[in-house]
Chains A and B, each alone.
Chain A
Amino acid sequence: MSNYLLVIIILVYFGVLFLIALWSDKNVNSKWVNNPYVYSLSLGVYCSAWTYYGSVGIAATSGISFLTTYLGPVIAAPLWVYVLRKILRIVKYQKISSIADFIALRYGNHRFIGALVTVICLLGIIPYISLQLKAISETFQIITNETNVKRIFLFEDTTFYIAVLIALFATFFGTQTTDTTDKRRGIVFIVAIESLVKLLIFIIIGIYVTFFIYDGTTDLFQQANASFDVYKLSTISSLTEGVNMFYMIAISFIAIFLLPRQFQMSVVSNDREYHLKTAIWLFPLYLLLFNLFVIYIAWAGNLNFDSSTVNPDYYTLLLPLKYDSFWLALLVFIGGLSAVISMVVVSTVALSNMVSNSLIIPYGFLETFNKNNPEENTKYIKNIRRFSIFTLIILAYIFYFNFSIEITLFSIGYISFVIIAQLAPSFFIGMFWTKGNSAGAILGISFGFLTVVYTLIVPFICDAIFNNYHFTENGPFGITLLKPYNLFGLNFLTPTTNAFFWSMTVNVVMYLVGSMYVKGSYRERNYAELFVSNSNDFALFSETAYVWKGEAYVADIRNVLEKFLGVEKTNRAINLFFAKNKIPKNTVKADAKFINFSEKLLTGIIGSTSSKILISNVIKEQPVSLTEILKILEESKETISTNKFLKEKSDQLTQLTQELKLVNEELVVKDQQKDDFLDTVAHELKTPITAIKASAEVLMFDDEMPADLKQKFLNNIVDDTNRLTKLINNILDLEKLANGREELDLSNNNILETVLKAIHFVDQSVTDKKITIQNNVKSLFFVYDDDRILQVFSNLLTNAIKFVEPINGQIEINLAEHDDFVLISVEDNGKGIPEEDFEFIFDKFYQSKNQTTKKPVGSGFGLSICKHIVESHKGSIWAEQKSKGVSFLVKLPK
């Protein structure tokens, strides 16, 4: 195929992309442009030319280890729900626009860290971009069937023009606005479309190879099995290989989070958090589909070509060409081109943001900005970014032109990943551990990177570029222990995993050492708390967590904002802020919240580091000493814990109060009962005394009284005196029994005799009232206090006699013997006890309580005394309503 035709096809493809991007940029909110599927597909930027061509190469030469690149992301996807969501919330709230911004902000908006991360990313990604250019160049040659000779003159190389086209494309859509947090829907949509294009084409070529060139997977397997060792290419052959694969998976796991293009797509360009929900299944599915035919294409390639003379990376192109399907090969080329365009555009846009916001602006252009007007500033910033994009692509081209001819796609890809992985400890540990600080991050990243340089980059350059194997084979100065690929004698890892293992170890150790032995500044601690805090109340927390001390004027800050946002936008933003926080519009002094807000406004445009520097230029920030910040943090923590403590105490107090209230109520009732009891007692005592006194007075003043009447009054006096005595005894008894001071005089007695004695006591009343007592108690011996139990039954009988009617009144005494107790009942046919009084009748205050002015029958102590006596025998007493009358039951243990 002629050069020119292919160039035209490429131009047409670019043109179509351009139109689509333009359309989607104008229809930002259309559901076609902004939906979870577009988001999930845009993550497919992960599959670069390396995937598109390189996977087949690896599968053809080293077997299934090509899968490691995809297993990491597949494992990471479910974790997105938690980790990526947390990242998203931080990024949205802080208006972060790149991975450099993210890490710098975590460590207190640290200018140097931002720059360091940017440099690491540049070092990792530029070769990676050059890899993409190499793929373009090589596939271009295959399609056009040119000889594999490098052009001497730059401008004769088609790849150069493609690179320029990509740069123009990235510049056009990547720098439309100065605000880097802008979602850049055009690019996102294009990336999604290209993800779809490359996947479809890859599946088409897979189906073509498997089912058209060969007769399905079985046929392919049998043929492959016949000509080479298929098992070697489809199994993990040893533990060593397994360990290596494990590390490879770890590398790709990190890459899916930290590659600048992934961060750009998955985090910065994320519009809605819920899009994640689709991505966590769709993206792994995408990767799965992409890998479906890799192994078959690899086998087919091995069957058709000699991998030592042909680069197996390009089996996808070579196979259709060999079988005269030229248009299919062209389609494959377009698919590869789309993978390259996505990767390069997104990477360069992401990197250019980092270069401008974290490197160039904070380290040189701030002064200029401060003097300029908003239009000029915007122009400046845009130009810096455009310049960055071009420079990046040019650098990548130069790298490709000079170094990467001999290097396979796969190896450079992994070097990139290992370099980017150096950001992982600072990134991940920093997100979950507040103590991680800038010193740790700088040490970790720097030493980790140096380790990569020593274990991977230097030997790689020696081997691949200078063809000098002395260093890698013998170590520096012949010290074998320091051999870069087998550091400290670790000899079973591949160069890549070896470098990853050692650099990560060094990185993490240095990070921890730095974090533990160097004290972080207050700003860092501020942001550390903020990043680590629970993402759910992130916004709330970050509002309050901002610690700042000093003096600042709204007008000064307004000036700075106007330089970047313009007067109108600034006014709108500030008014909104004031309204939201209920601050009067004419406020002169700015508070910490306002400063924080302004920094965030600027962050989107010039990055967090620069915005912090610009704002701090116009405010007089007094350095908050570490002790002060610690005090503030301590205080807020203390307040929280004190609050917690107070709440606990308060709860306890409430409970205690409640208990006290209950006890108090009980006491009040008891006190009332006591008063009533005393009243009753007093009344009971006064009644016979009154009678005695009256009788005595009558006798005293009447000398002529007949003798028999005199006798009657004297008898009354004696009766009342007896009554008084009995009453006093009862009161004392009750007191003794109630306080447990009465000791029982226990002996073996016959219950029948005791009951008979009780009946004898009431003989007189029974005769007087003409009632009958039927005694069914049998003779039974057991241990009890005879006197006391006698008291119980005489009390019960006295009560019963009182309640029954004269003449037909009947009282029945029964005894039932059980295994370990006896049950004696005293049943009458009297008027009974009102239902509601049942539970009170054994209460010594019962009568006084319920009838304060109504005269009780008897003293009211009888049943109470009975209860105490029975209970001191470990028995029980209760009453039961009968159809006529009441039955009192006494249960005594044998």
Chain B
Amino acid sequence: MKKILIVDDEPNIIMSLEYALQKNGFEVFVARDGQEALDILKKKVPDLVLLDIMMPNVDGYETLQKIKENEKLASVKVLFLSAKNKPADIEKGLQLGAVGYVTKPFSLKKMITEINELLN
């Protein structure tokens, strides 16, 4: 079972995402900000991280940087999920090594398709 870590500070969004992904056969972990995500990543290595950018404490970009610095997490794919939709923001995210960048609000259906493609 492929593992997915959701990192977002909005409980309602997490709830929908978590439900939909579980329904589609993924094992899901949840973190409420970057720091929490990094803590989880110390113990578990998911296949994919769905990463929000604007979060309290440690933001998405920083989190991705930390992930990339960690060799153990080399196989982890990161997909940004953010309301920030300026080209510069997207560019920055991809340059940091994300496999994709989905802007909020997103279509759940489309995203699950995309995740499936990414992980197979």
Q: Is A831 an interface residue (CB 8 A)?
A: no
B61 touches A694 (CB 8 A): no
Query: Complex formed: what's the CA distance from A857 to B33 in Å?
Result: 13
In the complex, which residues 846-864 of chain A have their Cβ closer than 8 Å to any Cβ of chain B? 853-857
B interface footprint on A683-723 (CB within 8 Å = 1, 0 otherwise): 10011111111110110011000000100110010011000
Tell me whether B94 is interfacial, beta carbon within 8 Å: no
**Which residues on A sit within 8 Å (CB–CB) of B61?**
853
Q: Could you tell me the distance between the alpha carbons of A670 and B64 in the complex, rounded to whole angstroms?
A: 31
In the complex the two chains form, is A698's CB within 8 Å of B55's CB?
A: no
Contact partners of B84 in chain A: CB under 8 A: 679, 683, 853
Q: Is the CB of B56 within 8 A of A713?
A: no
> Does chain B have a CB within 8 A of A149?
no
Residue from A679, A691, A702, A857 having most chain B Cβ neighbours under 10 A: A691
Residues of chain A contacted by B23 (CB below 8 angstroms): 702
| Bound complex: CA A689 to CA B32 (Å) | 19
Distance in angstroms between the alpha carbons of A716 and B17 in the assembled complex = 13
A691 to B108, CA, bound (A): 11
List A contacts of B15 (CB < 8 A): 695, 712-713, 716
Q: Closest A-chain residue to B9, C-beta based?
A: A855
Residues of A in contact with B, size category: 20 to 34
Tell me the count of chain B residues lying within 8 A, CB to CB, of chain A: 28
Interface of A is mostly: helix
Q: Are B56 and A719 in contact (CB under 8 A)?
A: no
Q: Decide: A690 near B109, CB < 8 A? Known: A855-B55, A857-B56.
A: no
Interface string of A395-411 (1 = CB under 8 A from B): 00000000000000000
| Chain B CB within 10 A, most for which of A679, A719, A853, A857 | A853
Partner of A853 from B59, B104, B105, B108 at Cβ < 8 Å: B59
Closest to B83 in A: A686
CB of B57 within 8 A of CB of A690, answer no
Which A-chain residue is minimally distant from B103 (CB atoms)? A686
Q: Which of A836-894 contact B (CB under 8 A)?
A: 853-857
**With contact pairs A687-B10, A713-B15 given, residues A698 and B20 touching in the complex (Cβ less than 8 Å):** yes
Most buried by A among B20, B55, B86, B105: B105
Question: Measured between alpha carbons, how far is A683 from B8 in the docked complex, in Å?
Answer: 14
A855:B83 contact, CB within 8 angstroms: no
B108 touches A690 (CB 8 A): no
Mask for A707-743, Cβ within 8 A of B = 1, else 0? 0010011001001100000000000000000000000
Cβ of A540 within 8 Å of any chain B Cβ, yes or no, is no
**Interchain nearest-CB distance for B45 vs A (Å):** 25
Closest residue of B by beta carbon distance from A857: B56
**With A701-B109, A702-B23, A854-B54 as contacts: A682 and B16 at CB distance below 8 Å:** no
- The CA-CA distance from A693 to B33 in the complex, in Å, is 22
A687 to B23 Cα, complex, angstroms: 23
Residues on B with beta carbons closer than 8 Å to the beta carbon of A697: 16, 20, 107-109
Q: Which of A777-805 contact B (CB under 8 A)?
A: none
Inter-chain contact B16/A694, CB cutoff 8 Å: yes
Q: In the complex the two chains form, what is the Cα distance from A683 to B103 in whole Å?
A: 11
* Minimum CB–CB distance for B113 against chain A, Å: 12
- Of B12, B16, B106, which contacts A719 at CB under 8 A? B12
A580-B10 Cα distance, complex, nearest whole Å: 86
Interface string of B81-120 (1 = CB under 8 A from A): 0011010000000000000000011111100000000000
Q: How far is the CB of A507 from chain B (nearest CB, A)?
A: 89
> Are A720 and B108 closer than 8 Å at their CB atoms?
no
Alpha-carbon distance between A857 and B107 when the two chains are bound, in angstroms? 27
Q: Give the residues in chain B near A854, CB-CB below 8 Å.
A: 54-57, 59
A856 contacts across to B, CB distance below 8 A: 56
- Min CB–CB distance B114 → chain A (angstroms): 14
What chain A residues lie within 8 Å of B59 (beta carbons)? 853-855
Q: Mark B10-48, 1 if CB is under 8 A from A, else 0.
A: 101101110110010000000001000000000000000
Shortest beta-carbon distance, A411 to chain B, in Å?
Answer: 106
Contact A686 B57 (CB under 8 A): no
- Decide yes or no: A855 and B16 within 8 Å by CB, A687-B104, A689-B105 being known contacts: no
| Residues of chain A with a CB closer than 8 A to B10's CB | 687, 690-691
**Contact of B12 with A691 in the complex, beta carbons under 8 Å:** yes
Whether A853 touches B60, Cβ cut-off 8 Å, given contacts A693-B105, A698-B20, A702-B23, is yes
A690 CA to B17 CA in the complex, in Å? 11
List the B side residues contacting A682 at CB < 8 Å: 83
Interface string of A578-607 (1 = CB under 8 A from B): 000000000000000000000000000000
Output the least CB separation between A707 and chain B (Å).
14
Q: How far is the CA of A716 from the CA of B19 in the complex (A)?
A: 14
The smallest beta-carbon distance between B90 and chain A, in angstroms, is: 13
| Chain B residues, CB < 8 A from A688 | 12
> CA of A720 to CA of B33 in the docked complex: distance in angstroms?
20
| A695 and B16 in contact, given A682-B83, A690-B105, A702-B23 (Cβ under 8 angstroms) | yes
- Cα A701 to Cα B57 in complex, Å, equals 35
In the assembled complex, B79 has its CB within 8 A of some CB on chain A:
no
Query: Which residues does chain A contribute within 8 Å of B76, judged by CB atoms?
Result: none
Counting CB contacts under 8 A, is B53 at the interface? yes
Q: Is the CB of A683 within 8 A of B54?
A: yes
Would A720 and B54 count as touching, CB distance under 8 A? Answer: no
Cα–Cα, bound, A719→B10 (Å)? 12
A690 B13 Cβ-Cβ under 8 A? yes
Report A-chain residues with C-beta under 8 Å of the C-beta of B19.
Answer: 698, 702, 709, 713
Whether A695 and B57, one on each chain, are in contact in the complex, defined by CB atoms closer than 8 angstroms, is no
Residues of A within 8 A of B109 (CB): 697, 701
The distance in angstroms between the C-alpha atoms of A688 and B104, with both chains bound, is: 10
Whole-angstrom distance between the Cβ of A144 and the nearest chain B Cβ: 121
Give the shortest distance, in Å, between B15 (CB) and chain A (any CB).
Answer: 7
CA distance A686 to B83 in the complex (A): 6
| Pair A698/B105 contact, Cβ less than 8 Å | no
**What residue of chain B has the Cβ atom nearest to residue A699's Cβ?**
B16
A853 near B54 with CB under 8 A, answer yes
Contact of A698 among B16, B56, B83 (CB under 8 A): B16
Cα A691 to Cα B13 in complex, Å, equals 5
A-side contacts of B54, CB under 8 Å: 683, 853-855
Q: Which residues of A lie under 8 Å from residue B12 when comparing CB positions?
A: 688, 691, 694-695, 716, 719-720
Q: Which residue of B lies closest to A694 (CB)?
A: B16
A726 → chain B closest CB, angstroms: 15
Nearest CB of chain B from residue A526's CB, rounded to whole Å: 71
| Chain B: CB-nearest residue to A695 | B16
Write out the residue numbers on chain A whose beta carbons fall within 8 Å of the beta carbon of B33: 855
A695 to chain B, nearest CB (A): 5
Given A683-B84, A701-B109, is A690 in contact with B104 using a C-beta cutoff of 8 Å?
Answer: yes
Q: Kindly list chain A residues whose C-beta atoms are within 8 Å of the C-beta of B16.
A: 691, 694-695, 697-698, 713, 716
Using known A-B contacts A687-B83, A690-B106, A719-B12, determine if residue A855 contacts B56 with beta carbons closer than 8 Å. yes
Residue of A nearest to B89 (CB): A853
Instruction: Decide: A701 near B83, CB < 8 A? Known: A720-B12, A855-B55.
Output: no
Q: How far is the CB of B51 from the nearest CB of chain A, in Å?
A: 12
Distance in angstroms from B24 CB to nearest chain A CB is: 10
Across-interface contacts of B13 in A (CB, < 8 A) = 687, 690-691, 694
Are A853 and B53 also in contact (CB < 8 A) when A683-B83, A686-B105, A690-B105 are? yes
Q: A687–B85 Cα gap in the complex (Å)? A: 13
In the complex, the chain A residue whose C-beta lies closest to that of B20 is A698
In the complex, 24 of the A-B residue pairs with CB atoms within 8 angstroms, ordered by the A residue number, are A679-B84, A683-B83, A687-B104, A688-B12, A689-B104, A690-B10, A690-B83, A690-B106, A691-B10, A691-B12, A691-B16, A693-B108, A694-B12, A694-B20, A697-B107, A698-B20, A698-B108, A701-B20, A716-B12, A853-B84, A854-B54, A854-B57, A854-B59, A855-B59
> A: which residues have CB within 8 A of B?
679, 682-683, 686-695, 697-698, 701-702, 709, 712-713, 716, 719-720, 853-857
4 additional A-B residue pairs with CB within 8 Å, beyond A697-B109, A853-B84: A694-B105, A694-B108, A698-B19, A853-B54
Q: Which 4 A-B pairs have the closest CB atoms?
A: A694-B16, A691-B12, A686-B83, A690-B105
Using a CB–CB distance below 8 Å, which chain B residues touch chain A? 9-10, 12-13, 15-17, 19-20, 23, 33, 53-57, 59-61, 83-84, 86, 104-109
